[in-house]
Chains A and B, each alone.
Chain A
Amino acid sequence: MRAIAVVATGVFRDSIRDRIAYSLVFFAVLLIAASFLLAQLTAGQDVKIIKDLGLAASSAIGVLIAVFFGIGLVTKEVERRSIYSLLSKPVSRSQFIVGKYLGLVLTLLTNLSVMAAAFYGVLAVLDAMAPPELRASWDAPALDPRMLVAFALIGVELMLVTATALFFSTFSSPFLSVAFSFALYIIGHFGEDLKHLDNIVQSQVLAQVARGVYYVMPNLAALDVKSDVVHGVSVSAWHALAASATAGVYIAVALVAATIVFSRRDLK
C-alpha cells in the first residue's frame, strides 16, 4: 500500500503542475465565467445557459485531461525511460499501475473541484444580481445543490475514462490509445442507440452485434445527469449509486487487465 500511495503522490505532484493540465482548467474556468456574459444576452434563460455551459465545459475538459494524461501515465514513462528508475525500486508493476491511476484520479478530482467552485461562484454572482421575479421563473435555484450530484457523476465518469485509457496504453501506441478511448467514450454515451439499432438497420446480424457491444461497453449515459439537474429534476440516490457501482466494476476490470498486460510486457 505504501508504494501505491507514494507513486500516486508523485503523479499528483507532477501532473498538477503540468502546464497543459492547468491551462485546460484555466480555459474551463474562463469558459464558465464567459457564460455569465453570454447569459446576459438572453432573457430568462440565463441561469440555464450558465449551468449547461459550466457542466459541459467541466465534463469536456475533464475527459480531455483523463484521456491524454491517462494514456501518458504509461506511454510517457516508457518512452522517456523514467520507468526504468522507478521499477528498479521496491515497486511492483501492479503497484505502479494502481499508483499511477490513483495519482491521476486525485489530479482530476482536484481540477474538477476547481471548476465546480468557479461554476458555483458565477452562479452566486448571478443569483445575487437577479431580481426576485426573475428568480421565481427559474426551473431550479441558481445554487441548486443537486448539481453537485452531476459533478460527482462527472468525477466517476472521468475515473472510468482514465482507467480505460490507461488499459489501452498498456498494449497500444499513444495514437491508437487515444482513438480507442474516444471511441469507447462515444459508444458509452450512445449505448441506447446501439441497443435499439434494429429500429434503424435491416440487418439482424448487425443489430445483434450492436446489442452485444451495448452489453459489454460501459453505459456512460447513465453517469450523465447534466440535463436533469439543469432542469431541476432530482437524480435518485439509487440511480447515482447503481451507476457509480457499475462504473466501479468496469474500473476494477480495466485496472486488473492493465496490470496483467503490463506485467508481461518487456520495457524495451
Chain B
Amino acid sequence: MDAISIEGLTKHYTVGFWRPRPYVALDGLALNVRRGEVFGFLGPNGAGKTTTLKLLMQLIYPTAGRAEILGRPVGDAAVKSRIGYLPENPYFYDNLTAEELLVYFARLFGYSAHEGRQRASRLLDAVGIGPERTFALRRFSKGMVQRVGIAQALINDPEVVFLDEPMSGLDPVGRREVRELILRLRDEGRTVFFSSHVLSDAEALCSRVAILVKGRLSAAGSLDELTAFEARGWEIVVGGLASETLDGMRGSLASATRLGDGRYALTLPPSAVPDSVITALVAAGAHLVSLTPLRATLEDFFLERVRAASGDSGTGRVAS
C-alpha cells in the first residue's frame, strides 16, 4: 500500500469579479508516494504545489479526482491522526507561547496535558527553540515560527509528514538542521512529502521527485531516472599538456580551459569516447588528473521542463 495515492486530482477556481472565468490550478494530477521515502514535490511558484497539499489536507475540495493517504480517503478522521502538516509560511496564535501551542495541538490528538508538555519539550529541543518557548508567539521571528511549525507537524509522531516549503525563512543553520531532521524522519521509517522550489534541497534529500508545471505533472521518478540519460559529456583535467598537442586535438574537444600550473580542463562531447582521448593525451606526455562525467543536474532537468511547458501553447490555465 502506498503512503499517498493521487488519481486525476483537479482543481478549478473562478477568477475575475466582473467577468468570472475558470482557472485551472491543478490538472489531473496522478501520483503515488511509497511508504518510507522522502518525496520532493517540485515546481516553480504558482505551479500548483500548495494547491495539491491543501487538497490533501481537505482545506479545499477537488473539482475532480481523488486522493488517498495510507489507504484511506483524505479527510478521514483516522487519517488525520496519522499525518502531520506544515503549511507554507505558517502562522499561529499571537498570545499563546510555543509550548502552549504544541500542548494545544497535542491535546487534539488525545494526549493528556502532561504528555503534551513532554512531547512539546522534546520537539522544541529538536527544532532548536530554547528558553524563548515560553514567549508569546507574536514575539517570534519568521524563522522561529517556521521551526515551531515543523515541531507542530510532528507532535503526533506522524507516519506521513507533509511539509510545504519547509526551508522557507530559515537561516543556513536552520536549513541544515531541518535537512537532518527530514533524513532522521526517513531513517525512522516515516514518509516525508515536501514541496519546494529549492532544487538543492530536493537533490540532497529526496529518493524520488515530481515536477509540477502550470498545474500539470511534467515528470516524476527517482533522481537517477530523471537525470541519468541526460549525459552532457565528459570533463578531463590533465597536467603537462604541450600546446601543440592541444592544438592537434581541438577538433575532438567541446572546449579547453587553461587552469594554471600547466593544467587544462578539456570538455568532450557526449558522443566522444574518453578512453581513447586519455590514451592519446598520455602518449603525448600529459598526465591525467581527473575524469568526470558531466551529467544533467536536477536544476538542468527542472529548467528544461519549465521551459518546455512555457513554450507549449496547449498548456493554458483556463479550464475548457
**Do they bind each other?**
yes
Contact A85 B87 (CB under 8 A): yes
Given A84-B85, A86-B108, A88-B87, 18 additional A-B pairs, CB 8 A: A2-B110, A10-B93, A14-B93, A15-B95, A18-B95, A80-B91, A84-B87, A85-B105, A85-B149, A87-B58, A88-B59, A89-B105, A90-B77, A91-B80, A91-B108, A92-B77, A264-B61, A266-B13
Chain B: number of interface residues, binned into ranges: 35 or more
Quick check: is B104 within 8 A (CB to CB) of the other chain? yes
Task: Please give me the residue from chain A that is nearest to B79 by CB atom.
Answer: A90
Q: Are B85 and A85 in contact (CB under 8 A)?
A: yes
Complex Cα distance, B101 from A9, in Å, reads: 11
Check A13 for interface membership: any CB of B closer than 8 A.
yes
30 contacts between A and B (CB under 8 A): A2-B110, A9-B107, A10-B93, A10-B104, A13-B104, A17-B95, A17-B136, A80-B91, A81-B89, A81-B90, A81-B91, A82-B90, A82-B92, A84-B85, A85-B105, A85-B153, A87-B57, A87-B58, A88-B57, A88-B59, A88-B83, A88-B85, A88-B87, A89-B105, A89-B108, A89-B109, A90-B77, A90-B108, A266-B61, A267-B54
Pick the residue among A6, A14, A18 that contacts B107 (CB under 8 A): A6
> Is the beta-carbon distance between B109 and A267 smaller than 8 angstroms?
no
Max chain A C-beta neighbours (<10 A), residue from B93, B96, B162: B93
Q: Judge whether B165 is part of the interface by a CB distance below 8 angstroms.
A: no
Report the separation of the CA atoms of residues A76 and B289 in the bound assembly, to the nearest whole angstrom.
62
- Determine whether B152 belongs to the interface, using a CB cutoff of 8 Å to chain A: yes
In the complex, A143 has a CB within 8 A of chain B: no
The interface residues of chain B lying within 8 Å CB-to-CB of A88 are: 57, 59, 80, 83-85, 87, 162
Q: How far is the CA of A14 from the CA of B104 in the complex (A)?
A: 11
- Per-position 1/0 for B21-58, Cβ under 8 A of A: 00000000000000000000000000000000010011
Q: Which residues of B sit under 8 angstroms from A268, Cβ to Cβ?
A: 13, 60
Of A7, A85, A266, the residue contacting B152 (CB under 8 A) is: A85
Task: Tally A residues with Cβ within 8 Å of B.
Answer: 28
A90 to B78 Cα, complex, angstroms: 8
Q: Is A31 an interface residue (CB 8 A)?
A: no
Complex CA distance for A9 and B60, rounded to whole angstroms: 26
Chain B residues 69 to 115 lying within 8 A of chain A, measured CB to CB, are: 77, 80-81, 83-87, 89-96, 100, 104-105, 107-110
Task: Given the known inter-chain contacts A14-B96, A89-B109, please indicate yes or no for A81 contacting B87, CB distance below 8 A.
Answer: yes
Partner of A3, one of B58, B87, B94, B108: B108
Assembled-state Cα–Cα distance A17/B108 (Å): 21
Inter-subunit contact B109/A90 (CB<8 Å): yes
